Homo-oligomer: A and B are copies of this chain.
Amino acid sequence: MPVLRTPGRNADAVAEMTVALLMAVTRFVVAGDRDVRAGTMFGETLPYQRYRAWQVAGRTAGLVGLGAVGRAAKWRLAGLGMTVIAADPYATDATHSLDDLLATADVVSMHAAVTPETSQMMGSDQFAAMKPGAIYLNTARAALHDTDALVAALESGHLAGAGLEHFEGEILPTDHPLTAMDNVVLTPHIGGATYDVESKQAAIVVADIKAILSGGKPLHCANPEVLE
């Protein structure tokens, strides 16, 4: 029995979540929304002063990993007027080494799979190598970074903010320091949660079933030897 796979099915959805987190972090959407709902818009400072941002157009986004999600993020970020660079030892069109990317990017966005090589790849040295005031995004997996090192880089003010979609153990303890930070946006692993992913996944499987039934080869089969 052939086992079919659906690689890249959620690339567009996760890339759009990457844009959502980037814009929510830079424009203080979560903290601003909380102030409006709580009636605390006007305090010691005006919201216009409190939530001063920098524009993303004209700045540089650095993608760590240039697989299906990285590529889907690439054209969207370029479409917002950003310069997009990428580090990926397995992509011939990656533009930068990781070190050069960290030193150059205003936004570092993680799009790598977790492997022994990438696990904890972002630690205190790597966060320190990022530009002061840079933003860190991770819509992939928390295992790619050392969370304590990230918290320290945010607490020291070296990083301006972060957007995170995934947490070790799939949930963040309510007393975790990240939950008290105004310059982070935390979403509950919903990057792939679109209706479009469901139809796309079905279409990929159906195309391969049709290929098999008509005597052809499926594009995405986990055990192609059974078809020989």
Chain A interface residues toward B at CB < 8 A: 12-13, 16-17, 19-21, 23-24, 26-30, 32-33, 35-39, 41-42, 47-49, 51-58, 75-76, 78-81, 167, 170-174, 179, 185-190, 192-196
Contacts and interface: CB of A to CB of B under 8 A. Distances in A.
A172 B39 CA distance: 7
B196 A28 contact: no
Contacts of A170: 41
26 contacts: A12-B55, A12-B57, A16-B23, A16-B56, A16-B80, A19-B80, A21-B29, A24-B33, A27-B190, A28-B190, A30-B33, A32-B186, A32-B190, A36-B179, A36-B186, A37-B186, A39-B171, A47-B188, A48-B192, A52-B193, A52-B194, A53-B193, A53-B195, A54-B194, A55-B195, A55-B196
Report the copy number of this chain in the oligomer: 2
A170 B76 CA distance: 33
A33 B174 contact: no
Contacts of A187: 27-29, 32-33, 36
A41 B195 contact: no
A6 to B, nearest CB: 16
Given A51-B188, A52-B193, A80-B80, 18 more contacts: A12-B57, A13-B55, A16-B80, A19-B19, A23-B23, A24-B24, A29-B185, A32-B188, A33-B187, A36-B167, A39-B174, A47-B188, A47-B193, A49-B193, A53-B193, A75-B79, A76-B79, A76-B81
